[in-house]
Amino acid sequence: MSPSNPPRHGRTGRAIDTDKLDRIVASARRASDERAAGYREQALKLYPWVCGRCGRSFDRSNLRELTVHHKDMDHDNNPADGSNWELLCLYCHDNEHQKFEERMAAIAAGRDPNANDAPGEGSKAKTTTHRPFDGLADLLKKD
Protein backbone atom coordinates (compact mmCIF):
# COMPACT_ATOMS: atom_id res chain seq x y z
CA MET A 1 0.00 0.00 0.00
CA SER A 2 1.22 3.50 -0.72
CA PRO A 3 1.42 6.21 1.98
CA SER A 4 -1.49 7.99 0.32
CA ASN A 5 -3.60 4.83 0.57
CA PRO A 6 -2.73 3.16 3.93
CA PRO A 7 -4.39 -0.06 5.04
CA ARG A 8 -7.60 0.46 6.97
CA HIS A 9 -9.04 -1.25 10.02
CA GLY A 10 -11.71 -3.76 8.99
CA ARG A 11 -14.29 -2.63 11.53
CA THR A 12 -13.63 1.06 12.11
CA GLY A 13 -12.30 2.00 8.68
CA ARG A 14 -9.57 4.14 10.24
CA ALA A 15 -6.09 4.16 8.74
CA ILE A 16 -3.61 1.79 10.37
CA ASP A 17 -0.25 3.26 11.40
CA THR A 18 1.97 0.46 10.06
CA ASP A 19 5.16 2.03 11.42
CA LYS A 20 3.72 2.01 14.93
CA LEU A 21 2.51 -1.55 14.42
CA ASP A 22 5.99 -2.63 13.27
CA ARG A 23 7.55 -1.03 16.38
CA ILE A 24 5.09 -2.78 18.68
CA VAL A 25 5.68 -6.18 17.05
CA ALA A 26 9.47 -5.74 17.17
CA SER A 27 9.30 -4.75 20.84
CA ALA A 28 7.10 -7.75 21.69
CA ARG A 29 9.50 -10.09 19.89
CA ARG A 30 12.49 -8.67 21.79
CA ALA A 31 10.67 -9.05 25.10
CA SER A 32 9.67 -12.62 24.22
CA ASP A 33 13.25 -13.51 23.27
CA GLU A 34 14.56 -12.02 26.54
CA ARG A 35 12.00 -13.97 28.58
CA ALA A 36 12.79 -17.16 26.69
CA ALA A 37 16.54 -16.76 27.21
CA GLY A 38 15.98 -16.33 30.92
CA TYR A 39 13.79 -19.37 31.53
CA ARG A 40 15.75 -21.52 29.09
CA GLU A 41 18.96 -20.90 30.99
CA GLN A 42 17.20 -21.64 34.27
CA ALA A 43 15.64 -24.85 32.95
CA LEU A 44 18.98 -26.07 31.58
CA LYS A 45 20.50 -25.58 35.05
CA LEU A 46 17.60 -27.29 36.84
CA TYR A 47 17.04 -30.36 34.67
CA PRO A 48 19.25 -33.01 33.10
CA TRP A 49 19.75 -32.49 29.36
CA VAL A 50 17.39 -35.30 28.39
CA CYS A 51 14.09 -35.11 26.47
CA GLY A 52 11.25 -35.68 28.89
CA ARG A 53 9.31 -37.71 26.29
CA CYS A 54 11.66 -39.81 24.16
CA GLY A 55 14.63 -39.89 26.55
CA ARG A 56 17.17 -38.64 23.99
CA SER A 57 20.29 -37.24 25.68
CA PHE A 58 21.91 -33.94 24.73
CA ASP A 59 25.33 -32.38 25.13
CA ARG A 60 26.79 -29.00 24.20
CA SER A 61 27.07 -29.96 20.52
CA ASN A 62 23.32 -30.50 20.04
CA LEU A 63 21.83 -28.56 22.96
CA ARG A 64 20.12 -26.15 20.55
CA GLU A 65 17.72 -29.02 19.71
CA LEU A 66 16.49 -29.22 23.32
CA THR A 67 13.59 -26.87 24.03
CA VAL A 68 11.71 -25.72 27.11
CA HIS A 69 8.06 -26.74 27.02
CA HIS A 70 5.52 -24.95 29.21
CA LYS A 71 3.23 -27.62 30.62
CA ASP A 72 0.26 -25.24 30.85
CA MET A 73 1.03 -23.66 27.43
CA ASP A 74 1.42 -20.23 29.08
CA HIS A 75 4.83 -18.83 28.12
CA ASP A 76 4.49 -16.09 30.72
CA ASN A 77 4.10 -18.61 33.57
CA ASN A 78 7.74 -19.10 34.54
CA PRO A 79 8.05 -20.00 38.24
CA ALA A 80 11.63 -20.00 39.49
CA ASP A 81 11.33 -23.63 40.65
CA GLY A 82 10.68 -24.74 37.05
CA SER A 83 7.43 -26.50 37.93
CA ASN A 84 5.79 -25.38 34.66
CA TRP A 85 8.67 -26.48 32.44
CA GLU A 86 9.95 -29.66 30.93
CA LEU A 87 12.81 -30.13 28.50
CA LEU A 88 11.74 -31.69 25.21
CA CYS A 89 13.56 -32.30 21.94
CA LEU A 90 12.30 -30.35 18.94
CA TYR A 91 10.26 -33.28 17.65
CA CYS A 92 8.54 -34.10 20.94
CA HIS A 93 7.90 -30.40 21.56
CA ASP A 94 6.19 -30.06 18.18
CA ASN A 95 4.16 -33.18 18.95
CA GLU A 96 2.98 -31.76 22.29
CA HIS A 97 1.81 -28.56 20.64
CA GLN A 98 0.08 -30.52 17.87
CA LYS A 99 -1.82 -32.57 20.46
CA PHE A 100 -2.83 -29.34 22.20
CA GLU A 101 -4.08 -27.83 18.91
CA GLU A 102 -6.09 -31.00 18.21
CA ARG A 103 -7.68 -30.85 21.67
CA MET A 104 -8.61 -27.19 21.14
CA ALA A 105 -10.10 -27.98 17.72
CA ALA A 106 -12.15 -30.82 19.23
CA ILE A 107 -13.47 -28.53 21.95
CA ALA A 108 -14.31 -25.84 19.38
CA ALA A 109 -16.17 -28.44 17.32
CA GLY A 110 -18.19 -29.49 20.38
CA ARG A 111 -16.55 -32.90 20.74
CA ASP A 112 -15.10 -34.35 23.92
CA PRO A 113 -11.32 -34.20 23.37
CA ASN A 114 -10.82 -37.06 25.84
CA ALA A 115 -13.26 -39.41 24.12
CA ASN A 116 -11.94 -42.29 22.09
CA ASP A 117 -13.25 -41.86 18.55
CA ALA A 118 -12.43 -45.46 17.58
CA PRO A 119 -15.45 -47.75 17.16
CA GLY A 120 -15.87 -50.27 19.89
CA GLU A 121 -17.59 -50.95 23.14
CA GLY A 122 -19.50 -47.92 24.37
CA SER A 123 -19.20 -45.95 21.14
CA LYS A 124 -21.46 -45.81 18.13
CA ALA A 125 -19.76 -46.94 14.95
CA LYS A 126 -20.72 -44.85 11.96
CA THR A 127 -22.51 -46.82 9.29
CA THR A 128 -22.92 -45.95 5.67
CA THR A 129 -26.32 -45.69 4.05
CA HIS A 130 -25.23 -45.64 0.42
CA ARG A 131 -24.83 -49.12 -1.04
CA PRO A 132 -23.30 -48.76 -4.51
CA PHE A 133 -23.28 -52.51 -5.26
CA ASP A 134 -26.77 -53.20 -3.99
CA GLY A 135 -28.50 -55.32 -6.64
CA LEU A 136 -25.25 -56.17 -8.46
CA ALA A 137 -25.70 -59.88 -7.79
CA ASP A 138 -29.11 -59.81 -9.52
CA LEU A 139 -27.61 -58.04 -12.54
CA LEU A 140 -24.83 -60.59 -12.84
CA LYS A 141 -27.28 -63.50 -12.69
CA LYS A 142 -29.17 -62.27 -15.77
CA ASP A 143 -28.12 -64.02 -19.00
Give backbone dihedrals phi and psi of 78, rounded to 5 degrees, phi first. Answer: -125, 70
Using CB atoms within 10 A of its CB, is residue 44 exposed (0-12), middle (13-18) or buried (19+)?
middle
**Domain 18-113: CATH architecture, name and number where available:** 3-Layer(aba) Sandwich (3.40)
Separation CA 31–CA 103 (nearest Å): 29
Residue 34 confidence (pLDDT) above 70: yes
Q: How confident is the model at residue 126 (pLDDT cuts 50, 70, 90)?
A: low
Residue 84's nearest CA partner among 56, 46, 54 is 46
Residue 137 confidence (pLDDT) above 60: yes
In the prediction, which pLDDT does 116 show?
61
Specify the pTM.
0.55
Residue range 72-122, pLDDT digits in tens: 999 889 888 999 999 999 999 999 999 999 999 999 888 877 766 555 455
